[in-house]
Amino acid sequence: MSNAAIAAGKTSLGIEFGSTRIKAVLIGEDHVPLASGSHEWENQYENGVWTYSLDMIWNGLQDCYSDLVKDVKAKYDEELTSIGSIGFSAMMHGYMAFNKEDELLVPFRTWRNTITEKAASKLTAEFNFNIPERWSISHLYQAILNEEEHVKDVTFFTTLAGYIHWKLTGEKVLGIGDASGMFPIDSTTRDYDATMMAKFDDLVAPCGFDWKLSEILPKVLLAGDNAGTLTEEGAKLLDVSGKLKAGIPVCPPEGDAGTGMTATNSVAVRTGNVSAGTSVFAMIVLENALKGVHQAIDLVTTPVGDTVAMVHCNNCTSDLNAWVGIFREFAESFGIEVDMNKLFSVLYNKALTGDADCGGLLAYNYFSGESITGFEEGRPLFARSSESNFNLANFMRVHLFTALGALKNGLDILLKEEGVKVDKIYGHGGLFKTPVVGQRIMAAAMDTPVSVMETAGEGGAWGIAVLAAYMNNKAEGESLSDYLSNKVFGGEEGITENPVAEDVKGFDDFLKVYNAGLPIERAAVECLKM
């Protein structure tokens, strides 16, 4: 069946540009992955800017696609010449600006750049809406504040996914989820917020630019919309062998937040997902607008335009993994060969036997700064009082709790201050690889059931492939939420862990100690200048 689907072009392809890897996933009509390809890459720090060059982008895409083609040939002995639909996604935000000759005016400024603080702060005040530093509009306005020469020549600016899509289809469009990280979206019109756009135009009017903001942003599309087809030139750009045929339908390009929601079946109202690895973010689809403006909360959208509250933290499992590495080194010093999966399992499960509030232990996992708690730099740190209950269970528990400490501060704004309701959270990422434990800790942090599904491991490339399939195969009037629940996940709910009352109270008690101890972390940053 797989051979027939590939030969007949009854497939969908998703390609996602992550920060360290470009990944391609080809799926069949049942949405199950058939083949995959990948390409490793790293951003470069040049002239004070984190960037990827255009050569890196195109060489990476072509190598990733070529790797997929090889996988198809090896598994099915088929040449990949036609695909049912394609989708492209990438890390959100950032700034790619072009002139009327379609030339890139300045090197791609990625989401990682924090050089837009003044612009983000001023726009947040102007709009009465939180505009993070990594958003595309922050980059554009900061360039204006810096009086950068290129701004007067801008005729189009977009994200990385929008750029790839434009060059392969000729269409200057963007999926609404990705667009919501460029400029605020009005979820009633499912388009850029017109009032805020007018405010921006008034703000920059004294500069005398020839353009209005609406003229240089990509057009907003929803999941399921047709976003163009692969052109002859685009087919050659993607497949350097020249075997891939033009004319393939391409879905709206999306950001990694939207593909993560899709991959975890969390696009419906009152659902959400948490991605917990090196960094951690939580996204909850809102029923109602928030009452206040919170710097800790980003407002983006699902791929169909429903408002999503997002809490993003820079640090999660790095310090936890480093401590597990110390235990491995200890065991190996005794000549014991260590199975890392078993080691993680033993240590994580030990944490469940500790005191609910970690027994008076305190840790911070700040490898880098953490904006939610006001740190531009970080220092991993462990502290305890002489009266604390210092044992292995509490030691592991405190490092699991602190991995979610900054995140819980942001989530408490949503769940306690704003009264946001959430029925279920889906977890994915390294924290959840050990069964039960990561879910129990997250459920304690949120006082909400946390589920994990096997498909979450397929990631954003699978998510954008599913969005491409949805565009091609949806029934008349079929919502993305229904399509995912009925045709992709088939009613699968995953494995769910409910919050334990003692854990919930323990995490709340721990967070009081965590927040009271932040001056200790501040002192570490100031004193440890190694």
pLDDT at residue 103 greater than cutoff 60? yes
When pLDDT is averaged across residues 447-451 and rounded to a whole number, the result is 92
- Would you say residue 278 has pLDDT above 90? no
Residues 388, 354: contact at Cβ < 8 Å? no
Q: Rounded to 5 degrees, what are φ and ψ at 36?
A: -150, 165
Q: 């009613």: which residue's tokens?
A: 491
Quick one: pLDDT at residue 459? 79
Query: Is there a single domain that holds both residue 304 and residue 413?
Result: yes
Q: Which two tokens stand for residue 104?
A: 């890139």
Section 22-43 average pLDDT? 94
Residue 182 has pLDDT above 90, yes or no: yes
- What are the distances in angstroms from CA 228 to CA 31, 89, 341, 499? 22, 15, 45, 45
Q: Are residues 209 and 100 in the same domain?
A: yes
Domain match, 309 and 420 both? yes
189 with 275, same domain: the answer is: no
Domain at 202, CATH number? 3.30.420.40
In tens, the pLDDT along 239-269 reads 999 999 999 999 999 998 899 899 989 999 9
Q: Is the dihedral of CA 182, 184, 190, 191 positive or negative?
A: negative
**What domain count does the chain have?**
3
Instruction: Give per-residue burial for 515-527: e unless 16+ CB within 10 Å, then b.
Output: eeeeeebeebbee
In a domain, 41, yes or no: no
Q: For residues 452-460, give the mean pLDDT.
A: 71
Does 30 fall in a domain?
A: no
CA angle 380/381/387 to nearest 5° reads: 160
In degrees, rounded to 5, the angle at the alpha carbon of residue 516 between the alpha carbons of residues 514 and 519 is 100
Tracing tokens 């049912």 back to the chain, one arrives at 84
Residues in the chain: 530
Take residue 459 and report the two structure tokens written for it.
């990631």
| pLDDT average, residue stretch 414-438 | 90
Q: Over 90: is that where the pLDDT of 8 sits?
A: no
Domain shared by 413 and 520, yes or no: no
Asked whether residue 271 is domain-assigned, the answer is yes
| 354, part of any domain | yes
Give the three-class secondary structure for 15.
strand
For residues 364 and 414, state if they share a domain.
no
Residues 210 and 282 in one domain: no
Global model pTM greater than 0.85: yes
Rounded percentage of the chain residues whose pLDDT exceeds 70: 98
Residue type at position 426: Y
Q: Which residue has tokens 């969908």?
A: 12
Identify which has the larger pLDDT, 283 or 429: 283
CB 11 within 8 A of CB 84: yes
Question: What's residue 19's pLDDT?
Answer: 84
Examine the domain organization and report whether 104 and 190 are in the same domain. yes
pLDDT of 458 > 80? The answer is: no
pLDDT digits over 114-157, tens only?
A: 789 899 999 999 999 999 988 999 999 999 999 999 999 999 99
Mean pLDDT score across all residues of the chain: 94
User: In the predicted model, what is the mean pLDDT of residues 362-367?
Assistant: 96
Q: Are residues 368 and 436 in the same domain?
A: no
Does 130 reside within a domain? yes
Domain that holds residue 325: 318-404+501-527
C-alpha to C-alpha distances, 438 to 199, 255, 321, 458, nearest whole angstrom: 44, 26, 13, 19
- How many angstroms separate the CA atoms of 8 and 78, rounded? 11
Residue 326 amino acid letter:
I
Does 153 lie in the same domain as 129?
Answer: yes
* In a shared domain, residues 142 and 209: yes
Domain membership flag for residue 173? no
The string of DSSP codes covering 348-393 is: HHHHTTS-TTGGGEEEE--SS-BGGGTBSS---EEEE-TTS--SHH
**Is 9 or 332 the better-scoring residue by pLDDT?**
332
448 and 508 assigned to the same domain: no
Within-domain flag for 464: yes
Q: What is the pLDDT of residue 399?
A: 98
State the pLDDT confidence band at 411, using cuts at 50, 70 and 90.
very high
Residue 1: pLDDT band (50, 70, 90) is: low
3-state secondary structure at position 314: coil
Q: Specify if 429 maps to a domain.
A: yes
Residue 186 φ/ψ, nearest 5 degrees: -95, 110
Q: What is the pLDDT of residue 20?
A: 84
